[in-house]
Amino acid sequence: MLTIDEIKAKLKAADTCNKQVGREAAVLLPLITINRELHILFQVRSLALRAQPGEICFPGGKIEPSDHDAKAAAIRECTEELGIDESDISVIAALPPVHTPQRTFIFPFLAEISSIEDISINDAEVDSWFTIPVAYLLSHPPLQGYMNITVQPGKGFPIEKIANRDAYEGRIYQMPEYFYEYNDYIIWGLTGRILKHFLDMLEP
């Protein structure tokens, strides 16, 4: 029979809050000062990628077993994708994790980049990069739409055993989506949600 101390030990060993290895990912929301004005750096995914080619995202990617934690993964991915030296990256704080439709999590971290002069993109992953002033984003609220997600029990789901089964067959949920426009760029999806979380924190 398990004791409370054994349960505590198992959860501590799992370190579920600090290290998520599997399909989970981590990203940096990079702040940069340009001409005394605060900007956010974004990157455009390579057109050669199979997943979301040409879409706008933050530096980041999958958390690997070799990463000490989610923050380390976000920093590593940023150095690999943009060629920014780790010494030029200063993590300020963790932002709220984002739950994805695939039932995984993305762990965002707010960071300051001290210099962008030596950016050298990894062409295999990144097509280009750009920045947007924070003041512009705060003064231009996003367009808001909704994505319909239909819940349909899959193979092996014992729908006949649960109460109120009709409420779970073909049920439709609406997920809000936010669209930020800047010049010819459209920022939306998970990146848009992370960005909105951050900007909402700056509002009075």
Between these two residues, 34 and 147, which has the higher pLDDT value?
A: 34
Bridge partners of residue 29, in order along the sequence: 110
Mean local confidence (pLDDT), 164-176: 78
Domains of the chain: 17-139+189-202 (3.90.79.10)
CA angle 135, 195, 51 (to 5 degrees): 135
SS3 sequence of the chain: CCCHHHHHHHHHHHCCCCCCCCCCEEEEEEEEEECCEEEEEEEEECCCCCCCCCCEECCEEECCCCCCCHHHHHHHHHHHHHCCCHHHEEEEEECCCEECCCCCEEEEEEEEECCCCCCCCCCCCEEEEEEEEHHHHHHCCCEEEEEEEEECCCCCCCHHHCCCHHHCCCEEEEEEEEEEEECCEEECHHHHHHHHHHHHHHCC
CB–CB of 44/126 below 8 Å? yes
Confidence of residue 203 (pLDDT cuts 50, 70, 90): confident
Tokens found for residue 109: 């971290």
The residue written with tokens 């060993």 in the block is 13
How many angstroms separate the CA atoms of 196 and 179, rounded? 10
Q: Give 141-150 pLDDT, tens digit per residue.
A: 999 999 887 7
CA 127/CA 33 separation, integer angstroms: 23
45-73-180 Cα angle (round to 5): 40
Q: What is the pTM of this model?
A: 0.82
pLDDT in tens, 109-133: 999 999 888 899 988 889 999 999 9
Each residue's pLDDT tens digit, 67-97: 999 999 999 999 999 999 999 999 999 999 9
